[in-house]
Amino acid sequence: MRRHSTLVDVLLVLALFSCSPWTVCSSLHCKETNMEEIRPHSVSITEFGAVGDGITLNTKAFQNAIFYLNSFADKGGAKLFVPAGRWLTGSFDLISHLTLWLDKDAVILGSTNFDDWPVVDPLPSYGRGRELPGGRHKSLVYGRNLTDVIITGNNGTIDGQGSIWWSSFRNKTLDYTRPHLVELMNSTGVFISNLTFLNSPFWNIHPVYCSQVTVQKVTILAPLDSPNTDGINPDSSDRVCIEDCYISTGDDLIAIKSGWDEYGISFGRPSTNITIHTLVGKTRQSAGITIGSEMSGGVSEVYAENIHFFDSYTAIRIKTSPGRGGYVRNVFISNVTLVNVDIAIRFTGSYGDHPDDSFDTNALPVIEKITIKDVMGEKISRAGLLEGIEGDNFSNICLSNINLNVSSSFPWNCTYVRGYSELVSPQTCEPLKETIFPQHYADCYYSNHLQSSRDRNRGAWLLSW
């Protein structure tokens, strides 16, 4: 069995970077960003007294270096170079027009002293800390109201040393919500690439109220039993592109969010135009791609393709609840390969988990126009567990060209959902059995986003000849 799992891991990682019968390699890619961009001013963290021995606390060195580089923000920007070493630090803030560059064998280590992670205000779209009322610990690498921020390197590492936080969570001794590894707020033009993220105390990468965000070629790792170590969580953000990533964590690999109950409804900032291309990973606790459960500001225009999940609990999931309000619509997921997954597709309409008792039970979410197509799966326990909300059916759910090798005698369980299907094996549930073509094609969400990208690139290729 171990030999089989190892072979699957290798095959899927190879598929991340190559075309094969299991993958349909398309021309949908993130916008090119030059991570080698020459900033006219560059300093090393060592110039500010930092010591890379894994013991010396370097928070002041990071803060002083970035304070110094801020004077060059309007002169073409600056680069902070982190050389090989183990650089222990608490939270520090980034600035606009900055490149944070980690060299090979450079490790930024999060302090294991909670006091080195200051407490900041809760997000307005959440109304409180995600885990506890009140504030939350600031992320290790933090920024707000920024423009043009690059976090990259030669596959250096940011390690949150999260085990002490996980223990405190399990022992119920936390005073505030745990910190993320990286959080950017109200920022535009964010690029994160070519790094490894390890052992986050909480979520790993959290762009919130951001626009034009690219996360590309990153590896995110945490133990499969670590609590709430989500990989990448775009939150009330738009024009987000996630590409060529490997994620193995204790919770959702990617979770798209937009605020929590009445706070998210009031704040009213949706997540939209989210692209996920070429993602490989596993999670035993949750799902590979999740929308929600905090989606009260709305989520729309989500495009995902070239997805490979293995040894996982759930592959694709939408989570919501009465009281959430908001909507999830216009979601297009295609070209998915699954191996050893418990539930391939799961919708949960009664997730619960509210910030307080002030939510409106009549604020029902709208879930509509969700298309999932071109899915192949081996060693699947259940094909689908699709649970909508009584009196608030999830509608126009469209399944196409799905072939799953399922062990359960009851592969599908559907309640309070309506939609259409074609070429689905094992045969789907009754509410989705009506065929898509010809009369219901317009009811499904077949995005031209992917096709237009292919057409543009095909035209460019022809012109080059």
- DSSP 3-state assignment of 148? strand
| Residue type present at position 162 | G
| Residue type present at position 405 | N
Show the CA angle centred on residue 192, arms to residues 191 and 195, nearest 5°: 155
State the catalytic residue, choosing from 251, 252, 261, 311: 251
| Residue type present at position 211 | S
Which class for 272: exposed (0-12), middle (13-18), buried (19 or more C-beta within 10 A)? buried
Cβ contact 98:66 at 8 Å: yes
Is 251 among the catalytic positions? yes
Distances in whole angstroms, Cα of residue 154 to Cα of each of 23, 37, 47, 259, 278: 28, 14, 20, 34, 21
Distances in whole angstroms, Cα of residue 246 to Cα of each of 156, 161, 193, 221, 294: 15, 19, 12, 8, 24
Neighbours of 164 (CB within 10 A): 16
Tell me which DSSP letter residue 296 carries: T
Provide CB contacts within 8 A for 5, sequence distance 6+.
Answer: 310, 311, 340
- The Cα–Cα gap between 177 and 136 comes to 5
In DSSP notation, 91-136 reads: -EE--SSEEEEE-TTEEEEEPS-GGGS-EEPPPTTTSS-SSSSS-E
Q: Among all residues, which ones are annotated catalytic?
A: 251
